[in-house]
A and B are shown apart, each in its own frame.
Chain A
């Protein structure tokens, strides 16, 4: 993977892989996965593989491509198992993925994705939400955000990390309603107060 620019690839993944993750996870939730292999493991392996591919521009429908990868990862895992069970392999192919024929690619428009993102960000708990917004919209450094929110630089970094994790959960898992409701209860005037007094 010498020629791969990780920043560019992250951008590609954001655009082409992330939007397909919820559907992929949903499909996999119907599979009987071999013990020791979780959906999160498969998703991570897919991202690793998608990064190692030298030229991703040839991937016409990333959603279907990711589904095929998922299948191969599971089959590979079963084959490498301590006791290679032919039955397990057959069962998986016959029952679990038989109905999972690649379908027409689900299209996620740019606008939809932006809207999903904005909802996910809006649903972040405080102070993570303020920290994240000050970082990506206002472009402040962690130190500047710390001064603004009266927190240490280290705490800001932790809150950014928390934001990334939560956004990944929300976007990768399709942003369920439970998530929304849970955060609706939270008071979230913190950011308003810190950003609002700049005067608009």
Chain B
């Protein structure tokens, strides 16, 4: 690999950067064509550089707040926590196999004291329809942003603030009030805070997911023998499994935390999520469906930030990047194998 010998990679990178800057002039195009035609290695180096630039576009998935220094550190931290556990969870979204397989999840058990509070008086019901998103402010100036298809109940009294998230996803921005802790009950998990910002996702049939954006949060999982409680701080995530008697935790880079709230801006963020799961996620928002009949295609994964109101656009983009085609049948977008067959290899 003597760089002095083969400089095609450098030259190719230069051409791809020039093409990235602006459309080539006629002379430049002629010059590029001449160079490409000169040697098949030039052409190969050029395509390789284009592939790298193409791959680089996927950095978009991290969002504008991506911090490379933080990522480098975060990457080291991730490995320290548990590489395997990290692999198991398809980040941000997705119904992964919740096989924690005894992975070294640093569970910090802070208390074995139950703080579940049964809801006595009926509270006020709030819900969003499919495709609807709403933010509301409560009596204590705390606010709740509700994502599509979310149902919750709010009950405040003198010594506690209580919300039951029976279904859906919400971000809670809680005003600090040490005299009245704020509780969110979601499935088998109860979250207790004093004042902080965090999100809770509770989709029936899936583990409850809690992500802390700011401050400190306690998550408790109901159990027969002594409930378990975990403490989370900013950028940490807890996953309260359905059957697993554990609260799995990991640390997310800040950019991923932000990505998890993409729905506030009407977007859906996927990272390595199977098309089947992506279709299920889009279905939560209404606006037409995505259908993937071929199980092999359904297993393919996708990464990116997509408009939640545009499943057709998603289907097109996903099909293009995975080498399939998208076809529309009324409100249904079908991702399938390409129909035209060409060539033999």
Contacts and interface: CB of A to CB of B under 8 A. Distances in A.
B47 A40 contact: no
Given A57-B323, A118-B71, A136-B59, A10 B50 contact: yes
B45 A44 contact: yes
Per DSSP, chain B at the interface is helix
A99 interface: no
Interface stretch (A14-22, A77-85, A87-95): A14-22
A160 B91 contact: no
A58 B301 CA distance: 19
Interface centre among B14, B48, B66, B320, by most A CB within 10 Å?
B48
A133 B343 CA distance: 38
Nearest to B2: A38
A18 B47 contact: no
A46 interface: yes
Contacts of B87: 111
Interface residues of A, number: 76
A27 to B, nearest CB: 15
B342 A188 contact: no
B135 interface: no
B120 interface: no
A13 B51 contact: yes
Given A45-B44, A114-B303, A136-B59, A12 B17 contact: no
Interface string B34-67: 0000001111110111111111111111111111
Contacts of B342: 3, 54-55
Interface centre among B5, B51, B68, B344, by most A CB within 10 Å?
B51
Contacts of B20: 135, 142, 157, 160
A119 B71 contact: yes
Given A40-B1, A43-B44, A53-B343, A164 B13 contact: yes
Given A44-B48, A117-B56, A164-B16, A123 B9 contact: no
A182 interface: no
Interface in B73-88: 75, 87
Given A115-B75, A136-B60, A161 B13 contact: yes
Nearest to B67: A192
Interface in B17-33: 17-18, 20-22
Contacts of B97: none
B65 A119 contact: no
A200 B65 contact: yes
20 contacts: A10-B50, A13-B47, A13-B48, A15-B321, A18-B52, A40-B6, A40-B9, A41-B41, A47-B43, A48-B41, A51-B43, A54-B343, A58-B343, A109-B272, A111-B90, A111-B91, A123-B72, A168-B13, A171-B55, A198-B64
Given A48-B47, A115-B75, A168-B9, 17 more contacts: A6-B47, A13-B50, A14-B51, A15-B321, A18-B48, A40-B5, A40-B8, A44-B40, A54-B343, A119-B71, A122-B68, A122-B75, A123-B72, A133-B68, A141-B21, A171-B55, A184-B72
